[in-house]
């Protein structure tokens, strides 16, 4: 491409050329920084093995959708009657097995995250872990207190043990994991039940395709164990231990 310089007085020609080059340079800088911003944003977003589901226009739309099912009176009746014993038994078997593997103890202070009506809290108590509580958007006293798992209502270093089978409901997985790592005591254990092989329910906010994203999110913890389970449609148990602080 050739640039023709209009017929300008001799004195103005260098000024015109200077302005032309400055403009081109500014245009180049702008397009480069735009590309850079795009790249940074993409690399900060979840990996291919953890995908946030589109369609939540705002945080309140996400909460409203979660509550839509959790507050359903007919379902709450079923969960607290017909389903109760069956689910408590299955959870109790999981917790008993964790006790056998020295990951959970009678004197552990335990939290279950997204515990709904508290079957898993009841199961923790039945296997002997008496200091246990659940959190959910909707409380179910005395087993479950109100709390959003993106901002747990507990102090730092509170629990010895945290369990959750609702990772797929996290709209912000890094906050979900960050809060677990904040409220676990150093040396405390987190057990997640997740689904890797099939998609979880229509109320899920993310899809997980491997354990890899969890390893990246639990950056203050070490991986203890990954094993197959059969837990209400969830197929994998992943166990992390929060690292102890380095004492210098």
Ligand X SMILES: C[S@@+](CC[C@H](N)C(=O)[O-])C[C@H]1O[C@@H](n2cnc3c(N)ncnc32)[C@H](O)[C@@H]1O
Task: Please check whether residue 242 is in contact with residue 220, taking contact to mean a CB–CB distance below 8 angstroms.
Answer: yes
Task: Please check whether residue 106 is in contact with residue 87, taking contact to mean a CB–CB distance below 8 angstroms.
Answer: no
**Residue 179 in contact with ligand X, rule: CB under 6 A:** no
Q: Which is nearer to ligand X, 235 or 243 (CB)?
A: 235
How many other C-beta atoms can be found within 10 angstroms of the C-beta atom of residue 99? 16
Pairing of strands 132-136, 144-146: parallel
- Start-to-end Cα distance in the chain: 65
Pairing of strands 50-52, 110-113: unpaired
Residue 40 C-beta: closest distance to ligand X, Å: 27
CA distance 174 to 219: 10
Binding mask 93-122 for ligand X (x = CB under 6 A): ---------------------xxx--xx--
How many other C-beta atoms can be found within 10 angstroms of the C-beta atom of residue 119? 26
**Residue 183 in contact with ligand X, rule: CB under 6 A:** no
Helical segments of the chain, H only: 12-44, 59-70, 73-80, 84-100, 119-126, 173-183, 212-217
Binding mask 54-93 for ligand X (x = CB under 6 A): ------------x---x-----------------------
**Residue 166 in contact with ligand X, rule: CB under 6 A:** yes
Residue 47 C-beta: closest distance to ligand X, Å: 22
Which residue, judged by CB position, is nearest to ligand X in the bound state?
114
Site for ligand X, residues 20 to 59, rule: CB under 6 A:
none
Q: Which is nearer to ligand X, 16 or 232 (CB)?
A: 232
CA distance 162 to 131: 12
User: Which region, judged by CB under 6 A, interacts with ligand X, from 8-16, 53-61, 148-156, 237-245?
Assistant: 148-156
Task: Please check whether residue 236 is in contact with residue 168, taking contact to mean a CB–CB distance below 8 angstroms.
Answer: no
Q: Which is nearer to ligand X, 94 or 240 (CB)?
A: 94
User: Which region, judged by CB under 6 A, interacts with ligand X, from 7-15, 165-173, 180-188, 236-244?
Assistant: 165-173
- 3-class secondary structure, 221: strand
Using CB under 6 A, pick the residue from 94, 95, 140, 149 that binds ligand X: 149
Binding site for ligand X (CB under 6 A): 66, 70, 114-116, 119-120, 135-137, 148-150, 165-166, 169, 232
């Amino acid at each position: 491409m050739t640039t023709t310089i209009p017929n300008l007085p001799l004195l103005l020609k260098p000024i015109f050329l200077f302005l032309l080059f400055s403009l081109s340079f500014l245009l180049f800088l702008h397009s480069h920084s735009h590309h850079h911003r795009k790249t940074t944003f993409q690399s900060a977003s979840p990996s291919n093995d953890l995908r946030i589901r589109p369609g939540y226009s705002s945080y309140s739309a996400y909460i409203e959708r979660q509550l839509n099912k959790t507050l359903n009176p007919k379902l709450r009746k079923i969960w607290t009657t017909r389903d109760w014993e069956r689910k408590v038994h299955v959870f109790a078997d999981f917790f008993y097995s964790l006790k056998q593997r020295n990951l959970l103890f009678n004197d552990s202070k335990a939290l279950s995250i997204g515990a709904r009506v508290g079957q898993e809290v009841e199961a923790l108590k039945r296997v002997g872990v008496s200091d246990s509580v659940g959190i959910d958007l909707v409380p179910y006293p005395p087993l479950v207190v109100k709390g959003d798992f993106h901002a747990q209502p507990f102090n730092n270093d509170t629990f010895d043990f945290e369990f959750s089978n609702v990772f797929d409901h996290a709209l912000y997985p890094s906050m979900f994991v960050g809060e677990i790592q904040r409220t676990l005591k150093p040396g405390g254990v987190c057990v997640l039940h997740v689904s890797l092989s099939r998609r979880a329910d229509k109320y899920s906010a993310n899809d997980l395709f491997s354990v890899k994203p969890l390893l990246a999110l639990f950056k203050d913890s070490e991986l203890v164990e990954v094993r197959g389970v059969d837990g209400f449609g969830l197929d994998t148990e992943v166990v992390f231990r929060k690292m102890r602080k380095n004492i210098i």
